Chains A and B, each alone.
Chain A
């Protein structure tokens, strides 16, 4: 026994201290995950934020970001009053103004452009979770120049999914973590989605399923994978094509699934040189045709109980020849160029490994088939006694998306899933309502000449899914109609717009100049821009003759003193996420899961004590001042005098369809559709700020063909008709663009673009090398350079958070140990990272878990000195860096000198993972600090002084 002379002094521990006066629920906004939270309040201050156990997204857990919400909410970098620029743009010199002056100034700028040329307004929002409002507002204003940050985030994933399977990875679908026996993840570091993937991986590994992570970098999720495939960036499509090659060679694909649920049997016209070549053969009513072996004749491929051929060239009654889609698919991937031995060196994965992965996929899908005792009825009324599952799940995100071949690569992953029969079955990739929709959804982009009229709303939304050249937003000479050139020949299927090109194009007057750039939560002078130094110059560029700014007005809404603030003329200070109403709408990016439809709200849980207003309220108020028809009554009074909460409950997009699906109808008894319920928000608050309707088990799988589900989806307002949805192995809209490039049809690309369209708009996905690497000399820039989001900061601004910045305050450049040895680099060295566009200096950290030809760093840790209320010598600005500085928004010149956007040629997705660099050790005297560094940005007046010591919570110890 130990002796302790003081052992008699016993501490009295309060085991049941009071935690809070009140607990309020709301929705987290520390990233894009939208978890439910319970906020404990004590004396009006936030005592503790925890996950809401009842919430469908996070089921009670909460990540590091969400747990650090207190520090973001109380950050000294919060803006506190509207600001008007008084010094030169970029100087950060502002004077505080009242809201009336702010709103009347914005109205004074916007009113004349609305009544003359609404396209002169470009409204672009960043990590906006209210796009159902902001996109609608842009349409009401009459400008097509609207998008959010999807163009540099995930449009390749969204568009490829929508055109292929009528759904997509992440927001509109999820791996079946409950039943999958094999899970393969591509290009997902630590994000998208955050907590659901973590919850799922924990379960999946606990069940003994195999988890394969394909990623050049072994961090985060890859760290717990059974197998990490450290692929060379941008070659995932080649790996997937090789897996498909192996499956086809072994005849291990799900033919029954293919003929029932995909367009595998549809006939493709084979008539080279003609305007019909490569189109789907159709009957007089436009139905696709297949070759029915019963009767040996063409038949409407949408009918049930056919016996369709999957291979074999046929001659149709009109004399044209046609081949089933499946045959074209098979021929493409059986090609020896996709054999494992042919691709191994290029992808950096051994051929034996590729062969084994293919065998494991087939084994899991077909030899470990699962059968659930759930009967269901298909679209044709046929009863299935059991629900069969192919327990192979896939998930993919940024590492696929941010390459110039990302659309076709993502399509390849969907082809693989379709061939395995693993979409929306038990154990596979599962849709989340309101998806699946038709592939693609029947929403066209608006913004052509006949859609845009001075003083009038556009007749539809700015963003959508073109079905062919006739849906492009181009003038007769091929010139883009939108400022970002979305839906032009530069990026025909730019379903999320090209936010990364807005400032560049506006500053060049290409295709035209604008008057007002209006942005929300978009740090476009810093970590949300390619070519950061150039972007700062563009934002401040002046007309040499008049001295006017080339972009005459910039309005910016943000809650914090981010790097972008200094570049705006008018600042509309937003609230923190705990001070506002918000709406996580089914019209936008809802919080559904595979087993239920759900949406959610935010409610103010603490009162804003600064002179700030929620951006959505401000946008609605501006709409009233601008007299946007849907926002005012006949007498000019506001239609939603209660601001955004009023709009959330009472606005109807179509009769019975509003922002929120729960507790609709006057009595609040309806779900999905119904008249507005004035007490709807109270019902949400009483239910933890979310609504969820569980889908009946018989309606949870094969939803593209499940009668019960399709009927339910119609009743909920998700689908217009209960028609089955046919997945598109072969994407006919792509072929339509290709035919235009070949000289067919009334809308054709400019000659310069013909080859590019012809090459990339292949209706059958293929792999091509990312553009930047092809246009620079490989010897000069031998390395790939990419970023990953740290889990503790993904999608949150991060550095103003006193706790999170203790986890990541400086980002290193991670270099493979063997590569570093070859380059003469050791840990802690400083090195120059040089691209064709510029160079940036960083400190090195050696790692084993990175592809040898790849260097990487954490994203968005580097900050500009002076921003975010950080001290001038904060590591974020002194040693932290952005790769953005050396990523150009333009590709290197083509042989004819033309420079395309550094984007996917199909969707316009920013190709920031295509970056190629060389690494050189910095000289001794250059060590210690990053470069380039920019002059410290000046804080706005009356910012809160950051404390020397933070003793948060001291007051709660009572």
Chain B
């Protein structure tokens, strides 16, 4: 199971990040502590963070909002390096979790993760991370429609999708196929499950909407006199 994130429409509003924090601070990995929350250097645990930056130059320049959380890799380096087995990938759905009871807080996993997706809770001394809302997606105490990760449920633009990326026929897999969804840093070989959809080609250039590059003047006379004459003859009905 995993997420598909549409970079064509993500406006960088942070709804996913904050709603994730809100759900998870009382959820499976509760709490997600905040140090110095009203002070000089507020720093808290977040499972999902939005990175905003500019890319490209001139007319091709773009402001990019890039939400990032654990990608639940098929080959998770964080699991491989974990000396206690606290980090593990669930066989049934592929979700990568940390067992807080056996995590010794050595941070090897956060060093190993190339995506910076792990969050160390220095208050409890254990590593925490995105659980893909494992306490929501199967939760029989929630309405069926709410059984998706908090970030997906709350995203105002609809840029986040959840589903079975292992099933080529699932709606998320079809979306990835249609839109050319891609892996983040595929060259590293960790085979992330989560996919990103690239921005659609912007309709920026002449002709991209089917329109001509400019309108044809109905009358070349710049004084508008010719137009007035045309309009005198317009027969209009109220």
Q: From B230, which residue of chain A is reached at the shortest CB distance?
A: A251
CB distance from A39 to the nearest CB of B (A): 11
Residue-wise interface mask of B (16-53) relative to A, using a CB-CB cutoff of 8 A (1 in contact, 0 not): 01110111111110111111111110111010000000
Question: Which of B9, B38, B63, B65 is in CB contact (< 8 Å) with A202?
Answer: B9
Digitize A353-370: 1 where CB-to-B-CB distance is under 8 Å, 0 elsewhere.
Answer: 001101110111001100
Q: How many A-B residue pairs have CB under 8 A?
A: 344
Find B62's partner among A14, A203, A223, A251 (CB 8 Å cutoff): A223
**Residue of B64, B84, B211 with most partner-chain A CB within 10 A:** B211
Q: Counting CB contacts under 8 A, is A255 at the interface? A: yes
Residue-wise interface mask of A (9-34) relative to B, using a CB-CB cutoff of 8 A (1 in contact, 0 not): 10101111111000000000000000
Q: Which of A402-410, A819-827, A950-958 lies at the interface?
A: A950-958
Smallest CB–CB gap between B32 and chain A, Å? Answer: 7
CB atoms of B26 and A47 under 8 A apart: yes
Provide the bound-state CA to CA distance between A168 and B145, in Å. Answer: 35
From A549-557, A625-633, A684-692, A802-810, give the one contacting chain B.
A802-810
A123 to B39, CA, bound (A): 35
Q: How far is the CB of B75 from chain A (nearest CB, A)?
A: 9
In the complex the two chains form, is B228's CB within 8 Å of A330's CB? Answer: yes
- CB contact under 8 A between A220 and B11, given known A48-B23, A226-B204: yes
Partner of A957, one of B26, B234, B237: B26
Contact size class for B?
35 or more
Contact with B along A380-423 (1 / 0, CB 8 A): 00000000000000000000000000000000000000000000
Cβ-defined contact, B12 with A791, below 8 A? yes
Q: Which residues of A have CB within 8 Å of B24?
A: 953
- When the two chains form the complex, which single residue of A223, A311, A809 contacts B232, counting CB atoms closer than 8 Å? A311
Q: A439 at the A/B interface (Cβ < 8 Å)? A: no
CA distance in complex: A2, B190 (Å)? 13
Q: Is the CB of A67 within 8 A of B39?
A: no
Residue numbers in B under 8 Å from A199 (CB-CB): 156-158
Interface residues of B in 138-182 (CB under 8 A from A): 138-142, 145-146, 150, 153-159
Please indicate which of the listed interface residues A16, A67, A290, A800 has the most CB atoms of chain B within 10 Å of its own CB: A67
Is the CB of A434 closer than 8 A to any CB of chain B? no
> CB of A293 within 8 A of chain B?
yes
Contact: A53 with B145, CB < 8 Å?
Answer: yes
**How many Å lie between the Cα of A584 and that of B83 in the bound state?**
56
Known: A14-B28, A64-B15, A803-B18. A362 touches B54 (CB 8 A): no
A48 to B127, CA, bound (A): 23
Nearest opposing residue in chain A for B65, CB measure:
A223
Q: Which chain B residues border A774 with CB–CB below 8 Å?
A: none
List of B residues within 8 angstroms of A330 by Cβ: 224, 227-228, 231
Is B38 in contact with A19, judged by CB distance below 8 angstroms? no
State the CA gap A49–B28 with chains docked (Å).
17
Q: Are B218 and A804 in contact (CB under 8 A)?
A: no
Known: A205-B9, A210-B209, A310-B231. A255 touches B236 (CB 8 A): yes
| B contact residues around A327 at 8 Å (CB) | 228, 231
Query: Across the two chains, which residue of chain A brings its CB closest to B141?
Result: A19
Known: A16-B141, A330-B231, A363-B209. A953 touches B27 (CB 8 A): yes
B141's partner among A17, A803, A870 (CB-CB below 8 A) is A17
Q: Which residues of B contact A194 (CB under 8 A)?
A: 156
Question: Is A847 located at the chain interface by the 8 A CB criterion?
Answer: yes
Least Cβ–Cβ distance between B100 and chain A, in angstroms: 8
Contact (A6, B38) CB under 8 Å given A61-B156, A64-B14, A330-B228: no
CA distance A306 to B134 in the complex (A): 68
Let me know if B237 and A310 touch, CB within 8 A.
no
Bound state CA distance, A199 and B13, in angstroms?
A: 12
Instruction: Judge whether A305 and B38 touch: CB under 8 Å.
Output: no
Q: How far is the CA of A950 from the CA of B219 in the complex (A)?
A: 70
Interface size class of A (residues with CB under 8 A): 35 or more
In-complex Cβ contact of B228 among A210, A255, A311, A947 (8 A) = A311
Proximity bits, B216-233, A CB within 8 Å = 1, else 0: 111100101001101110
Contact A848 B42 (CB under 8 A): no
Contact B154 A61, beta carbon cutoff 8 Å: yes
A265 close to chain B: CB less than 8 A = yes
- Tell me if B236 and A259 are in contact (CB < 8 A): yes
Residues in B with CB closer than 8 Å to A806 are 34, 42-44, 46
Interface contact B210-A363, CB-CB below 8 Å: yes
B34 A227 Cβ-Cβ under 8 A: no
- Whether a CB of chain A sits under 8 angstroms from the CB of B99 is yes
Contact among A205, A331, A358, A364 with B215 in the assembled complex (CB-CB below 8 Å): A358
Q: Which residue of B lies closest to A76 (CB)?
A: B38
Q: How far is the CB of A287 from chain B (nearest CB, A)?
A: 13
Contact (A946, B28) CB under 8 Å given A17-B139, A358-B215: no
Within the complex, what minimum Cβ distance (angstroms) separates A905 from chain B? 29
Give CA–CA (A181, B203) in the complex, Å: 12
Known contacts A256-B236, A311-B232, A949-B35, A807 near B157 by CB under 8 Å? no
Residues on B with beta carbons closer than 8 Å to the beta carbon of A247: 215
Residues of chain A within 8 A of B218, CB atoms compared: 249-251
Give Cα A540 to B97, complex, Å.
58
Residues of the B chain whose Cβ atoms lie less than 8 Å from the Cβ of A58: 156
Residues in B with CB closer than 8 Å to A356 are 206, 211, 213-214
CB distance from B157 to the nearest CB of A (A): 4
With an 8 A cutoff between CB atoms, is B187 at the interface?
Answer: no
Does A296 sit within 8 A of B, measured CB to CB?
Answer: no
Chain B residue numbers with a CB within 8 Å of A208 are: 200
The smallest C-beta distance from A800 to any residue of chain B, in angstroms, reads 8
* Structural contact, A307 and B33, CB atoms closer than 8 A: no
User: Which residue of chain A has its CB nearest to the CB of B222?
Assistant: A336
Task: Check B238 against A13 for contact (C-beta < 8 Å).
Answer: no
**Which residue on A lies nearest to B211, using beta carbons?**
A363
Q: In B61-109, which residues have CB < 8 Å from any A CB?
A: 61-65, 79-80, 82-86, 88, 97, 99, 101-102
The residues of B with any CB-CB pair to A shorter than 8 Å are 8-15, 17-19, 21-28, 30-40, 42-44, 46, 54, 57, 61-65, 79-80, 82-86, 88, 97, 99, 101-102, 123, 134-135, 138-142, 145-146, 150, 153-159, 199-200, 202-204, 206, 208-219, 222, 224, 227-228, 230-232, 234-238
Apart from A203-B158, A359-B215, 18 more pairs, CB < 8 Å: A14-B28, A17-B139, A182-B209, A223-B65, A226-B202, A249-B218, A260-B238, A330-B231, A363-B211, A363-B212, A792-B14, A800-B38, A871-B38, A871-B40, A950-B33, A953-B25, A953-B27, A957-B31
Could you pull out 12 A-B pairs where Cβ atoms are within 8 angstroms?
Answer: A6-B102, A15-B135, A50-B146, A68-B18, A194-B156, A356-B213, A358-B214, A359-B214, A871-B36, A874-B38, A949-B34, A949-B36
What are the 10 tightest A-B residue pairs by CB atom distance, in nearest-first order?
A6-B85, A953-B26, A363-B211, A198-B156, A250-B215, A953-B25, A956-B26, A202-B157, A251-B218, A802-B37
